[in-house]
Amino acid sequence: MRIKTGYIACVGRPNVGKSTLINRLVGTKISAVSPKPQTTRRSIVGIKTITDEDRIIQLIFIDTPGIHRPKNEISSEMVKNAIEALKSANLVYHLIDASEGIKGEDIDIAENLKLIKMDENTVLGLGSGTGIDMRIKTHPHIFCLLTKIDLVKKEELLPMMDEVGKWSIYSEIIPISALRGYGIDDLLKTTIRYIPDAEEILYPQEMVFGHPIRILIQEIIMEKIYNNVHMEIPYSTAVEIEEITERENGMLYIKATIYVEKKNQKKILVGKDGQKIKQIGTLAREEIEFLMNKRVYLDLWVKVKENWRKNLQFVKRIYFSE
């Protein structure tokens, strides 16, 4: 039996479709998606295991926070977390949103990726304050994925493919639409060609989510907030899962606290007569029930924690510890 396995890090600017792609590749929702940039706050590991007659292939995808210029403790930790994911990668997908065209930030990321391909010891500076000493062992191949091609005409796509080709960084350039599923089979087939042989697979075959279940629940609640609450408020929101208990009747009891930074944000999040928080709770509960195939009681609390985004200890506790 031949075994192949490897880590594939998915990086790019915020909102280019990294999480949508990861969900599509592993075949189920594991990472939050929203139209707002900076939805993903920590790297999320999703696993796809393909078995056929004579081989097992395990692809370990790492979704990462969008790389941007950080403004506070949480965004700087997010960018560091994204860059850390490159350290273990055998292959990197650099996503560029074709519907928006190539931006300066895409070029900055590409230039930094070029360094990790070539140098043993690289200090990556993707955004100020994020210089990270890389000590690359893997020298990953890098694919350019031009995303959201369902929104782009062919005449517009071809010049973009030419342009990124000139950068001489990418082993492959593949246009995709993660939303519609275009180009995904081609991407998977090509990916498998670049994944090394291995002695054994790293995760059990049936596993798709590489973290404790608490983190999946946190992602789901966060996603409902990003998609249902007014403009800036999701950015001031943090979700902490405090308890998950299986009750005797088989029901899962989940207690979560949603932190906001100011009193008036709490008012908006709770809504008139508690309508907003109830809507978020219902949407999140339905999705958790679907994913876990269990009845769920979701107990949501809203608390104010002033300026938590600048509180490194708090940020680490909620998002960067397992």
Ligand X SMILES: Nc1nc2c(ncn2[C@@H]2O[C@H](COP(=O)(O)OP(=O)(O)OP(=O)(O)O)[C@@H](O)[C@H]2O)c(=O)[nH]1
Contact set with Mg ion (CB under 5 A): 18-19, 39-40
Instruction: Give 17 or 127: the residue with its C-beta nearer to ligand X.
Output: 17
- Does 276 interact with ligand X (rule: CB under 6 A)? no
Among 147, 191, 218, 237, binds ligand X (CB under 6 A): 147
- Does 239 interact with ligand X (rule: CB under 6 A)? no
Binding segment for ligand X (CB under 6 A), chosen from 51-59, 173-181, 236-244, 275-283, is 173-181
Kindly identify the residues of this chain, within the stretch 89-128, that bind ligand X according to CB under 6 A: none
Instruction: Give 179 or 268: the residue with its C-beta nearer to ligand X.
Output: 179
Kindly identify the residues of this chain, within the stretch 34-53, that bind ligand X according to CB under 6 A: 34-35, 37-40
- Does 14 interact with ligand X (rule: CB under 6 A)? yes
- Cβ of residue 226: shortest distance to ligand X, in angstroms? 8
| Contacts of the segment 238-246: beta carbons below 8 A, 24+ positions apart | 238/305, 238/308, 238/314, 238/315, 238/318, 238/319, 239/318, 240/317, 240/318, 241/214, 241/217, 244/213, 244/214, 244/217
Give the residue among 110, 103, 250 at the shortest CA–CA distance from 166: 110
Among 56, 107, 179, 213, binds ligand X (CB under 6 A): 179
Degrees, nearest 5: CA angle 243-246-247: 110
CA–CA separation, 308 vs 6, rounded Å? 36
- Cβ of residue 320: shortest distance to Mg ion, in angstroms? 16
Contacts with ligand X by CB under 6 A: the residue count is: 23
Tokens of 299: 């107990």
Q: Are 259 and 237 in contact (CB under 8 A)?
A: yes
Q: What single string gives the DSSP state of each residue in 131-196? A: -EE---SS--EEEEEEE-GGGS-HHHHHHHHHHHHHT---SEEEE-BTTTTBTHHHHHHHHHHHSP
- Cβ of residue 14: shortest distance to ligand X, in angstroms? 4
Instruction: Give 5 or 81: the residue with its C-beta nearer to ligand X.
Output: 81
The residues that touch ligand X, with contacts defined as CB under 6 A, are: 14-20, 33-35, 37-40, 65-66, 147-148, 150-151, 177-179
